[in-house]
Structure 1
Amino acid sequence: MQANKPRSNRGARCQGDDDGCYPDQDGPGSTVSLCGADLDDIPHLRDWVPDLQEHENPLKQHPAYRTRNNDYFINPGDVVTQQVVVNMDRPREPTHFRRAGPREKVVFAGEEVRAAIVTCGGLCPGLNTVVRELVFSLWQQYHVHDILGIDGGYRGFYAKNTIQLDPKKVGDIHKRGGTFLGTSRGGHETTKIVNSLEDRGINQVYIIGGDGTQRGALAIHKEVVRRGLKVAVAGIPKTIDNDIAVIDKSFGFDTAVEEAQRAINAAHVEAESVENGLGVVKLMGRYSGYIAMYATLASRDVDICLIPEVPFTLEGPGGLHRYVERRLRENGHMVIVIAEGAGQELMAADTTGTDMSGNKLLKDVGLWLSQNLKDHFTQHTKQVLNLKYIDPTYMIRAIPSNASDNVYCTLLAHSAVHGLMAGYTGYTVGPVNGRHAYIPIERVIASQNRVNVNDRMWARLVSSTQQPEFTFSEAGDDSSAKPTPEPAPEPSHEPARRPPVPVGRTTNNGAADTNSALVASMGGGGVGDVPPATTGTVSFDNDYGAAAQETAAAAMLEGARKDK
């Protein structure tokens, strides 16, 4: 059955009055006037379910949520703006999303709801908190007492592996890592899943997972629409890498950055305790280097941070080998943080195979880089190298969420429930500029969130680590060549900052699933998904700071001696 009216106004403004105000419906019986706005709207059950009945929101009778003016409920005209910084010389129409939260009217009565909750993909801190708060919101706020936990990911729908959930059963699961419901990769068969929803009378589905899982949620939603079912589907984005598009950040990210400090601190202690100590820490980040970047900034003990968005080379005067040699001579120890997706193009392209989600497998760049550095120092230098490699991947993603992530997961879960009870569907919930919004699933899966190396955050990192751009110089691979110092800049009141590297990359989806161990020397190893080839331009920069200044000073003294 086709929808009676399209809900999405993406790419064009609604036709409206001459004063530029454009009407749109917000749930049964209410009207929104969006002036000069591009509303990236979401579907509603009334688009394909005729004679949809509405009810008073039971929260109106809940003592905790009842206010004098009903201020707790979202105004039908409230939207969240995606662009909060506008260039006044080049203004453009902003994009808006519907603001998340409870509506005064709902289209589900509590006693008619049979809800299902499923977790898919890899583990992430906060999964259990989301599950717990979904149950509590349904049970306590909307009097829904038929809640099913789908065991083992998508295939649990048609395998009929379910757990009956209630507040007592999930009361303390937020204190544990992992997922109470179990998870898996793959297993998405749209027809079999929707058949199961029909057979079992499930009419609300909450799907927690990354971009691949959200693609599955969209497929379920489209099949539900095709069949004309009164089934509402909500996605809750989950990725520890923080690579979900549109939203401010993903849950579990803060916890991951906090826990990564332990590994970096251990690497720093090991490195500074021995002669020429080098600590190498591999962190999550298949295509996005956010965890590595933020953990490095938080630590301030890191000398080099390598992420997928910035290519690097090993050999030559502008390569990583030369800089590590110099840094160890100057400081006696150093720490390198590398994201799991960095440097994949430098390793032999002999990896084949995919995981259960169809993602190509990554090679362990941490082990590879550690062995490469050991080989270089053994074969080309007389320096001793004491290298310690630490891979805390599973230790980080398997822990319970911290306080800030617990609060964040609560808001995500409650927002998802409010939306489905009001009849909205086919959306992902998340914060946009600090306000929770309902975002069309298509927008979330259209791209991945990547570190912008032209942004000030990356500049702050480079300023902290003082690392150069590890790129090929004009001197090629001649290891005897010396870096050419750049001309001294004009005096400035602004602090010096190395220009970031503009890089473009093509991405595909996939969630990290790497091996993890705390390794004192060499060991462990894991696999994941091979990132696509890197494209774009990089600038050449062989100025290694103090060392380059020494070279320049020596050249000046030599020139002065010859002049005499």
Structure 2
Amino acid sequence: MNNTATFDIDTLGKPKFKSPLQLSTVRGDSIFNFISENDRLVFDLSFEHYQKCIANQEAPLCLEKAGPRQNIFFEPPKTTAAIVTCGGLCPGINNVIRGVVMALHYFYGIKRTLGVPYGYEGLNPEFGHELIELNPDKVRDIHQFGGTFLGSSRGGQSVSTMVDTLVKNEVNILFAIGGDGTLKGVDAIGEEIKKRDANISVVGIPKTIDNDIDLIDKSFGFETAFDVASPILRDAHNEATGAYNGISIVKLMGRDSGFIAASASLAMPVVNFVLVPEMDFALEGENGFLEALRKRLQSKKHAVIVVAEGAGQHLLQQTDVVKDASGNVKHADIGVFLKEKIEEYFTDIPVTIKYIDPSYIVRSAPANSSDSVYCGRLAYHAVHGAMAGKTRFVVSKVNNRYVYIPISEVTKKRKKIDLESEFWFSVLQSSGQPFSLK
């Protein structure tokens, strides 16, 4: 990617209505507060990239700055918006729903906002789910609770059928809150809308508790997830130290990326082993995990192990690949597997093993203060972009600035922990875990 065109955002047409927001102060050619369509932020801030651009006389790869525009595409009194939440639960979903409804109503005077119940199922009439009328009074307090006020589901529906539902209900903007599968789904909806030459904007607000969406700084709910997991690790440590050769195994979410396991272990530094999907480790052998665990018990008489759900799948020897409704591979339970292998290995010394799986508690928690602020700002920026007629984009933070990114760019691959990064080195330093377990 070496030109600014890569991250260009699709638009429905030229904005021709004046924004109702009272923001701008015009002084000469400058407009303050409103974001110019020419405002761009450099993606790669490294000096190396800067030197390369200078040497090759290339423009740097840039992102479109998020925020309110002076001119908007949709006429507020005639605009209908809809919100859908898909996939697994994650802290902060209700905050985003609330933020979108509030921004539409109070910023732009949108009178009709619809909630789509139970994910993409709600856009398929065959399921019989009725769309929900949303307003500030209805969503005012939902941020206090975890889960999703609208309900969710996994799996896609007929794209054509979903677009038919949007058209039938005269929806002009669809906000989709979800992860990789949800974003791919709403991008497909946007492609079908484009084929029909319909003026419907589709916007993705990236939600994944695993923090595995590519390019962006972090997804909402992730910080709450490891915040909630941290005291669980503290309690697991108490269990482990309460017995001679006590071992606590805590399994946290992380299908393909181990950011929650690693971050929680840094936040509560009582963990001795962190096993994540990105690492290849062996059980047996002189440098394998079980022998490293033995050395730990010999030295300290207890151990705390944190394992991400997708770690160590190469050890389980599954013959059949089973996928869920979203197309994700359903992993075998690595936590139970480790517990059994540890019990089999330590036949010569007594060990006490406690296995803890708090995954559904973590993902169902309400957002903490930091995530709550983040969710609100994501919602506002999503609304601003949609009202300007932008479509098939996600809103997020990159380099700590709010930007719009084409959905197609963030769904190309999953973000993973770099095992040679300072972040992972911090995990190893905190835990005392060997650099290699194989």
TM-score for both structures, normalised by structure 1? 0.74
Q: Greater shift after overlay, 439-448 or 86-95?
A: 86-95
- CA–CA distance in structure 1, aligned partners of residues 305 and 402 of structure 2: 36
SS where residue 201 of structure 1 aligns?
coil
Is 1:438 paired with 2:409?
A: no
SS where residue 83 of structure 2 aligns?
strand
**What is the one-letter code of the residue matched to 1:436?**
Y
- CA–CA distance in structure 2, aligned partners of residues 53 and 242 of structure 1: 34
Cα deviation, residue 360, structure 1: 2.3
Alignment correspondent of 2:87: 121
Cα deviation, residue 358, structure 1: 2.5
**What is the one-letter code of the residue matched to 2:41?**
V
Query: Structure 1 stretches (4+) deviating beyond 4 angstroms?
Result: 65-70
SS where residue 336 of structure 1 aligns?
strand
TM-score for both structures, normalised by structure 2? 0.94
Cα deviation, residue 78, structure 1: 1.3
1:332-411 mapped onto 2 (5 Å cutoff): 332-378=301-347, 381=348, 383-411=349-377
Q: Quick check: 2:86–2:178 contact (8 Å CA) kept in 1?
A: yes
Alignment correspondent of 2:199: 230
Alignment partner of 2:215 out of 243, 246, 254:
246
Q: 1:387 to 1:175 in 2, by over 3 A?
A: same
- CA–CA distance in structure 2, aligned partners of residues 72 and 221 of structure 1: 29
- CA–CA distance in structure 2, aligned partners of residues 284 and 68 of structure 1: 50
Alignment correspondent of 2:37: 76
Percent of paired sites with the same residue: 42
Alignment correspondent of 1:270: 239
Alignment correspondent of 1:23: none
Alignment correspondent of 1:55: 17
1:408-423 mapped onto 2 (5 Å cutoff): 408-423=374-389
Please provide the CA RMSD for this pair: 1.6
Cα deviation, residue 350, structure 1: 3.3
Unaligned runs of 5+ in 2: 54-58
Cα deviation, residue 66, structure 1: 6.2
- CA–CA distance in structure 2, aligned partners of residues 196 and 326 of structure 1: 61
1:67-466 mapped onto 2 (5 Å cutoff): 71-87=32-48, 91-92=52-53, 93-159=59-125, 161-378=130-347, 381=348, 383-466=349-432
Alignment correspondent of 1:44: 11
SS where residue 378 of structure 2 aligns?
helix
Q: Greater shift after overlay, 463-472 or 141-150?
A: 463-472
Cα deviation, residue 94, structure 1: 2.5
Paired positions, count: 427
Q: 1:188-244, CA deviations, whole angstroms, 9 ceiling, x for partnerless residues?
A: 210000111111111110001101110101100011111000111101111000000
Alignment correspondent of 1:511: none
Q: 1:108-160, CA deviations, whole angstroms, 9 ceiling, x for partnerless residues?
A: 11111111100000000000000000000000000001000000110201225
Q: 1:224-266, CA deviations, whole angstroms, 9 ceiling, x for partnerless residues?
A: 1110001111011110000001110000010001011121111
- CA–CA distance in structure 2, aligned partners of residues 351 and 298 of structure 1: 37
Alignment correspondent of 2:56: none
**What is the one-letter code of the residue matched to 1:422?**
A
Q: Quick check: 1:351–1:361 contact (8 Å CA) kept in 2?
A: no
**What is the one-letter code of the residue matched to 1:59?**
L
- CA–CA distance in structure 2, aligned partners of residues 368 and 243 of structure 1: 25
Cα deviation, residue 469, structure 1: 3.7
Cα deviation, residue 53, structure 1: 5.9
Instruction: Tell me which protein shows more helix as a share of its residues.
Output: 2
* Structure with max Cα Rg: 1
Q: Quick check: 1:39–1:97 contact (8 Å CA) kept in 2?
A: no
- CA–CA distance in structure 2, aligned partners of residues 67 and 404 of structure 1: 31
Cα deviation, residue 471, structure 1: 4.0
SS where residue 87 of structure 1 aligns?
helix
Cα deviation, residue 351, structure 1: 4.5
Alignment partner of 2:433 out of 457, 467, 475:
467
